[in-house]
Amino acid sequence: MKLRLGWIAFCLRLAGSVLTGCAGLIAAASAVGMGRPGDALYFISSRDGLYRIYAHDLDHHFTRRLSSEPVALSYLNLSPDGRILLFEAGTERSAWPLGARLMNWDGSGARPFPIEDAHGLRWSPDGRWIVATRVVDEQNVLFLVEAACVVSDSACPEPIQITAGGFSAGTPSWSPDGSWLAYAANPRGDYDLFVLDLGCLDEPGGCIGQGRGVGQSEADDVLPQWSPDGRSLLFGRLVGLEVEMYLIDPFASGPARALAGEMHTTTVPAWSPNGERIAFFSERLYVMDVPGGVPRALEDRTGSWPVWSRDGERIAYVSGLELLSPHIRLVDLAGRGQVLFEDGFTYWAPVWWGRE
Question: Does residue 200 fall inside a structural domain?
Answer: yes
For residue range 119-132, what is the model confidence (pLDDT) as tens digits? 999 999 999 999 99
Domain residue limits at 241: 2-72+171-354
At a CB cut-off of 8 Å and minimum separation 6, what does 349 contact? Answer: 17, 18, 23, 24, 26, 43, 44, 73, 74, 75, 76, 305
Helix (H) or strand (E) holding 5: helix 2-14
- Residue 13 sits in a domain whose CATH number is 2.120.10.30
pLDDT tens-digit profile of 103-116? 888 889 999 999 88
Q: Any idea of the CA torsion for 28, 280, 15, 53, to the nearest 10 degrees?
A: -40
Calpha distance 284→85 (Å, rounded): 31
Q: What is the per-residue pLDDT for 289?
A: 94
* Between 132 and 79, residue with greater pLDDT: 132
In a domain? residue 109: no
Residue 255 falls inside a structural domain: yes
Q: What is the number of structural domains in the chain? A: 1
- The answer to the question of residue 41 being in a domain is yes
The strand pairing partners of 274, in sequence order, are none
Amino acid identity of residue 331, one-letter, is V
User: What's this model's pTM, rounded to 2 decimal places?
Assistant: 0.85
Q: Is residue 166 part of a domain?
A: no
Answer whether residue 79 is part of any domain: no
- Per the domain annotation, does 16 fall within a domain? yes
Interatomic CA distance for residues 215 and 252, integer angstroms? 9
Decide: 299 and 335 in contact? Cβ < 8 Å: yes
CA-to-CA dists, residue 99 to 50, 70, 75, 80, 276, angstroms: 17, 12, 12, 22, 36
pLDDT tens by residue, 306-349: 999 989 999 999 887 655 557 889 999 999 998 887 777 888 88
